[in-house]
Structure 1
C-alpha cells in the first residue's frame, strides 16, 4: 500500500494526500480514485495529487486533482483543513473540496505559474504563488493579486521569504528585494537589495 505524504484528521475522518505524478489519466480505475478534477487544457497536468478519506480504516471517498503550470509537491503549506473543507494547492490552481465526500466546491487558477502555499486569513485565503500573492474569498474568487520585480522566493528558500503578520505580509523576491503588502493588495513599503 502506498504511504501518504500528508495526513489530516477531521473528526472521525482521516484525509490522506498522495503525490501521483505517475498516474495514468487514461486508466483511473488502476488507482481507484472516484473523482477526477483536472484543468482540461489538452496538456498533461504538471502535478497530480491523490486524496482518500478514511473512516474506521475504510476508504469512503477518493479523488485526484491536477493542473498545469509549475510542478508542486505536498508540504506543510500546500494544503489546509477548515472544518469540513480541504483547500489544496496543485500547480497553478487552488482546489476546495468538501469532506467527507470530496465533492469539488470550486477551483481557481491563483497564480500564473504555480502556487507555493495557502494560508487562512479572515474571510478567505492568502495564496503565496511564484509570480503573484493572491487573496481569495471563501467562494474562490480573486479579490486581489500583487506581483513583484521577480518570483516570490529567494534561492535559499528561507522561512522569512514569505510571512503573514496581523496587519501585513512581508515577502522577498529572487533578488532579495523586500516588500511589505497590506491586506488590500497594496505594496506599502519596498526595500531594494543593493548587493
Structure 2
C-alpha cells in the first residue's frame, strides 16, 4: 500500500517518522482527528499550513506557519545526522529525532517553502522557496539566499555543478552550492 496523499513516511535509525498535512487541525481543541504531544506555532498571525509529525509512538508534534499554503509531499522533509528538517509554510524547522525537540526554525521565504533538500556531496541544506533559494547550515544559519526574475515553480534539482531551478517563465538558473552566485541563466 502506498503513502496517502498529504503524507510522508521516512525510515530513520530512530524509527519510522510519519508526517501528515493537518489543514483542519485546531490548536488547543479536543475535537481534532489526531492529537499531538506538542503544538508549535512558528509565527504569529494567521497560519496557512499545519503539519503533524510522529515517530513510532515516541513523540509527536504539530507545527503551523504563515505564508503560502504548503502540503506534505516527498520533499517536505529530510533526515540528516539525527535531525529531521521539515518545510512548513514559509519555514524550515529542525527537530531532534531522539527527543522530538525543536532545535530551530527559520523563515526561508516571504511566500512558501516548497521543499527541503540535502546534497551530501556539497553538504548543503537547501530550501526551495517560491521566491528564493536558500542554503542553511544544519544549525539554522542562513549561508546565502538567491532569487530570480519570477517565482520558482517549475523545477528544482541538485546537480553536480550547481543547483538548477526553473521559474514560472521557464528560465533556468544554475546557482553555486557554496556561494549562491548565479553561474548560468538560460
Mark yes or no: TM-score above 0.5. Answer: yes
**Structure 1 unaligned regions, length at least 5:** 155-160
Q: Map of 1:114-129 to 2, 5 A cutoff?
A: 114-121=112-119, 122-129=122-129
Answering whether residue 42 of structure 2 is matched by residue 39 of structure 1, we say yes
TM-score, normalising length: structure 2: 0.89
Runs of 4 or more, structure 1, over 6 Å off, are none
Q: Map of 1:60-71 to 2, 5 A cutoff?
A: 60-71=58-69
2:73, 2:43 → 1: CA distance? Answer: 25
TM-score, normalising length: structure 1: 0.85
Q: Report the counterpart of residue 82 of structure 1 in structure 2.
A: 80
CA contact (8 A) 1:132 1:145 kept: yes
Which stretch of the first structure deviates more once superposed, 121-130 or 62-71?
Answer: 121-130
**Aligned mate of 2:89, from 83, 91, 101:** 91
SS of alignment partner, residue 151 of structure 1: coil
Q: Map of 1:155-194 to 2, 5 A cutoff?
A: 161-183=155-177, 184-191=179-186
Q: Map of 1:14-33 to 2, 5 A cutoff?
A: 14-27=16-29, 30=32, 31-33=34-36
Task: Give the paired residue count.
Answer: 179
**Structure 2 unaligned regions, length at least 5:** none
2:94, 2:112 → 1: CA distance? Answer: 16
Deviation (angstroms), 1:26: 3.0
Deviations, residues 77-114 of structure 1 (Å, cap 9, x unaligned) = 11101232110101100011011321001001111111
Which stretch of the first structure deviates more once superposed, 66-75 or 113-122?
Answer: 113-122
Structure index of larger Rg: 1
CA contact (8 A) 1:13 1:100 kept: no
Q: Map of 1:130-141 to 2, 5 A cutoff?
A: 130-141=130-141
